[in-house]
Amino acid sequence: MIVNLCPYWVYPPTGGGPLRVYNLNRYISEKIPVRQFSFRPTFIMRKMGINILSSNVIKIGESYIEYRISSPLILFLSFLLYKLSLPYDLLLSRLAGILRNKSLYEFLASAEIIQVEHPWLFDFAEKKAKDSILITSSHNCEFILFDKHSKFIEDRLLDIEKRSIENADVVFAVSEEDIKNFREILNVNRRRNVFVIPNGVNCSEIKRVSPIERIQAKKKLGLFGKKVVLFTGSIHQPNLEAAKIIKEKISKDIKNNDIVFLIVGSVGERFKEGYENIIFTGYVEDIKPYFRAADLAINPIISGSGTNLKMLEYMAYGLPVVTTEVGARGLNIKNKEHAIVSEVSDFGYWIVELLSNEELYSKLSNNARQFVENRYDWKAIANKAVEIYKTFLKW
């Protein structure tokens, strides 16, 4: 059995991190039972009608169960840390020890594998591991996201993440680039038992949109006759930066009134209405209609670590993508073959070019879908993780 420790509630998934944990665990649990303990709701869950003040148990699959822990203390401190621009889950290892959840302690005592998502619960897990295989599942090089604080805070963050990489029996990273960051930024020289388990997408659940289906989707959203440029994201600092770039730079470079920017997800809740060619939807329960209405997608991300799940979703829908190098990081994307990799200053040019150049549009659309089918399907990625588990369990 795998006991998975995750800072945030995962089901239903509300962003990149929850999507990764949910999709890997639902396929892994077909081979190995997974008991997941999650310590706080995501901020968007309160808008979904989910009772965030009550702990509960969710049966996600036959062998995949999530134990959702709710604690006023965790809710208060995570919100406080958020307001201080610090990792919301910085204190979770200490708090998990204080809470002493009975079910958690019982499963930890018998777990063959303890897997920790992100570094924040690693200290707690290390104390409880005993004979279990201890795995750190890194989602990014976290230090890169929070390196603009006092030296005391930076040293504390660096120490937590570094120990989670150095002291684990096995480490999962999302890309070779992150492994390089472990070495160059965290000063971790370890390479043994470090494996790339990339982000993915459910290709079997996403079908490419036909021209007629796209027109119908636009009509339902009141966008008939428009060319739709899509950006999706949750309230996450790199997404906020990207939305601001769209608002202040990219949208102003487009002079065609028939081109509209559709910014979907909770990232838009930080921006007010009143833009001629930009629509901010805020959080939406079902994002699929917006993908179906899109003609192409953009990813003007300029900071962050890990890999962008939104890139894989765009490509699975067969959307041509214009992205920065940072947005394409870790995915082995070739410029002008799988996507357009560009400086932000040239996004406007490439948007217009793609919408007018049918040959280039078709090429990128076909190549993008084929690219993710061949390399980034969640089920295949989960099977790779299972084979690694079996190696260390000596099954």
pLDDT tens, residue by residue, 184-211: 999 998 889 999 999 999 999 999 999 9
H-run or E-run covering 213: helix 211-220
How many helices (H) and strands (E) the chain has is answered by 16, 14
Does the pLDDT of residue 148 top 80, yes or no? no
The pLDDT value given to residue 242: 95
pLDDT of residue 146: 75
Smallest Cα–Cα separation from 171: which of 185, 160, 182, 156?
182
pLDDT of residue 274: 64
d(C-alpha 222, C-alpha 160), whole Å = 48
Percent of residues, the chain, with pLDDT higher than 70: 98
Global pTM? 0.86
List, in order of start, the domains of the chain with CATH numbers: 2-200+378-393 (3.40.50.2000), 203-375 (3.40.50.2000)
Distances (CA, A) of 267 to 34, 150, 204, 243: 31, 27, 27, 7
Identify the residue with better confidence: 274 or 250: 250
Strand order in the sheet with 34-38: 56-61, 64-68, 34-38, 2-6, 113-117, 133-137, 170-173, 194-196
Q: Which of 151-160, 252-261, 327-336, 348-357 has the lowest mean pLDDT?
A: 151-160
> 258 vs 16, 163, 261, 355, CA distance in Å?
31, 52, 10, 11
For residues 146-171, give the mean pLDDT.
88
pLDDT at 307: 82
Is the predicted pLDDT of residue 388 greater than 70, yes or no?
yes
Residue 287 confidence (pLDDT) above 80: yes
Span 108-123, average pLDDT: 97
DSSP string of 76-126, one letter each residue: HHHHHHHHTTS-TTTTHHHHHHHH--HHHHHHHHH-SEEEEESSTTHHHHH
* Measured distance CA(378)–CA(318) in Å, rounded: 17
Alpha-carbon gap, residue 300 to 261, rounded angstroms: 13
pLDDT confidence band for 395 (50 / 70 / 90) = low
310-325: average pLDDT: 96
What is the per-residue pLDDT for 145? Answer: 78
Tokens of 358: 């049918």
Instruction: Report whether pLDDT(306) > 80.
Output: no
- What confidence tier does 285 reach under pLDDT thresholds 50, 70, 90? confident
The confidence score (pLDDT) of residue 308 equals 85
139, 175 in Cβ contact below 8 A?
Answer: no
What value does the mean pLDDT take over residues 293-298?
A: 98
pLDDT of residue 147: 62
To the nearest whole number, what is the mean pLDDT of the chain?
Answer: 93
The dihedral formed by the CA atoms of 5, 8, 11 and 12, expressed in degrees to the nearest 10: -160
Kindly report which listed range (79-83, 195-199, 319-323, 350-354) carries the lowest average pLDDT score: 79-83
84 vs 3, more confident: 3
Percentage above 90 pLDDT, the chain: 80
For residue 14, what pLDDT is reported?
86
Res. 68: pLDDT tops 80 = yes
What would the mean pLDDT of 307-327 be, rounded to a whole number? 95
- Statement: residue 115 has pLDDT above 70: yes
Listed range (123-127, 218-222, 391-395) with the worst mean pLDDT: 391-395
Residue 394 has pLDDT above 90, yes or no: no
d(CA 223, CA 390): 50
